[in-house]
Amino acid sequence: MLLPHAQTLAQARSYVAALADRALTLDASSAYERALLELDRVHGDECPALDAEDLADDRDILLAVASNAIEDLESYGIDPLSVELILAMLVDAHDLDIG
């Protein structure tokens, strides 16, 4: 894993984790958490640490940046289908969140 890849992945993980922390219901939080786990699984658990502190509180902004970062992972050789699946999980979780 090269440095830009690691940075993008760290960003994606941080944003998804921030979404899980700020979710209104436990179910939505758990759904975000599973998207995060899927992200880790795709990378074989070789991921840099995340930092979900000091991020925006607006969940729509967080979702947008998280989706962006995950889409960017495609350019580092991550299987496009996996990326799409994670994005779909993220959208499902967001649907749960806004109820």
Contacts of 38 (CB under 8 A, 6+ apart): 82, 85, 86, 89
Q: Quick one: which segment of 31-39, 65-73, 74-82, 91-99 binds other proteins (CB under 8 A)?
A: 31-39
Q: Which of 37, 40, 32, 30 is nearest to 15 (CA)?
A: 32
Q: How many CB atoms lie within 10 A of CB 28?
A: 22
As measured in angstroms, the least distance from the Cβ of 53 to other proteins is 11
As measured in angstroms, the least distance from the Cβ of 32 to other proteins is 10
* CA distances for 15 relative to 35, 93, angstroms: 11, 13
Site for other proteins in 33-92 (CB under 8 A): 33-34, 36-37, 40-41, 44-51
Q: Which residues bind other proteins (CB under 8 A)?
A: 1-3, 6-7, 10, 13, 17, 20-21, 26-27, 29-30, 33-34, 36-37, 40-41, 44-51
